Amino acid sequence: MSQHHVPKKERSIFYTRVEALRTNAPPLNVEPAADNNVMKVTEHSLFMRTANGSMYGGRHSMSWWAAATTPVIFAFFSLGGYWIYLHDRNQNGYSAGAVSHYLESWYYPICIAAFSLLSCFWMFIPWRMQLPIIFNRKTRQVTCVIQGKLVSQHWDQLEAYIKDVTSFAVGSGPINEGVLTLAFPYVDPDKPNGEKCLRVGIYATLDHRQAVVNRGIYGAAQVWEYIRLYMREGACAVPPSSALDRYAIASAREAVQQFNPLKVLRVQHPGWLVVAVPFFLFIALPIAPLVMLGDIFYMWLNRILPRRKWPQQLIDACDGVWDGKGD
């Protein structure tokens, strides 16, 4: 990839594809960076999450939102139960208290929240089934599982390119994301005339200061330079993670610190308090504790839900230094 193809801050980032990247080419004009797309870094092996794994697993992913909104849904319908109590008291002559009324129908908000979680539980399957892309410095091999098939390619012969993906989110405009794509030679014996390679993607870094400004393929180029720096100089040379939030919390304290509603009041100019105080009282203060509970709930699910066992070939590809446990 020549330097004139590197996305600049002042240039448009709406690309569909960049020409093939070379493992031995001169460095691109970007800072090496990565965030939660990195699973683990050891002396001889770098473990990267696939784009599919980042989409479905980890904090702020699809499975996390399914878990985090469960307490919110429960609280919303519990509040709805209180409004029903007021109606029954004022219109139907209900004489018992609000607690008694709630205990008579306590299972409704629980069932609705549980149904909402179960309807989204399909998102948990790819989260628990994900396998890494392994870059082994000692053997110079890149190994992963794509569509159930174990593939491997020598680092010096690896074909890579960057895709610029534009997606749409509910209630917002287009979201521009870059994906570093790796191609592995593979001939399907059942389809000898079919495509001769399998592809896997790694999401661009999102939290690095330059990626936040540029987005798209700039962040994907940063990930590519991160991987190349590791393969060239080792674990001691790569920068620390630029992730604003950890992939998974280790204790409830982290959830409390992350979603502390008092953060809303930390404004640089006193004039902003006119906006910050109402937001704190009516939105942050009631919602933040529920999201904290959801984050803790997700931590608990991460600990108890079974995860896919790594095939032995994948463990061998990293010289047995890791088998995915403790992620």
Which pLDDT tens digit goes with each residue over 300-325? 999 999 999 999 999 999 999 999 98
pLDDT at 3 over 80: no
Q: What region does 148 belong to: left with phi over 0, alpha with psi -120 to 50, or beta?
A: left
DSSP string, 138-186: TTTEEEEEETTEEEEEEGGG-EEEEEEEEEE-TTS-EEEEEEEEEEEE-
- Residue 166: the pLDDT is 61
Could you tell me which of 199, 216, 224 has the C-alpha nearest to residue 48? 224
- Residue 15: the pLDDT is 41
pLDDT digits (tens, 9 = 90+) for 256-286: 999 999 988 887 777 888 888 888 888 899 9
Instruction: Give me the residue spans of the domains in the chain.
Output: 1-56+130-246
pLDDT at 11 over 70: no
Comparing 318 with 209, the larger pLDDT belongs to 318
- Residue 176: the pLDDT is 64
Name the residue with tokens 């699809």: 62
Could you tell me which of 182, 173, 169, 167 has the C-alpha nearest to residue 220? 182
- Residue 35: the pLDDT is 95
Total Cβ atoms within 10 A of residue 28: 20
pLDDT at 118 over 90: yes
CA distances to 23, 51, 52, 66, 228 from 163, rounded to whole Å, are 17, 12, 15, 28, 18
pTM for the model: 0.85
Q: Distance (Å, rounded) from C-alpha 266 to C-alpha 277?
A: 10
3-state secondary structure of 116: helix
Could you tell me which of 301, 278, 247 has the C-alpha nearest to residue 121? 301
Q: Name residues whose C-beta falls within 8 Å of residue 131's C-beta, 6 or more positions apart in sequence.
A: 50, 53, 144, 145, 308, 310, 314, 324
The CB-side HSE value for 2 (13 A sphere, CA atoms) comes to 1
What does the pLDDT average to over 34-61?
95
Q: Order of strands across the sheet with 159-168? A: 159-168, 174-185, 197-203
For residue 137, give the DSSP letter: T
pLDDT at 236 over 90: yes
For the chain, where are the E strands, in sequence order? 38-41, 45-48, 133-136, 141-146, 149-154, 159-168, 174-185, 197-203
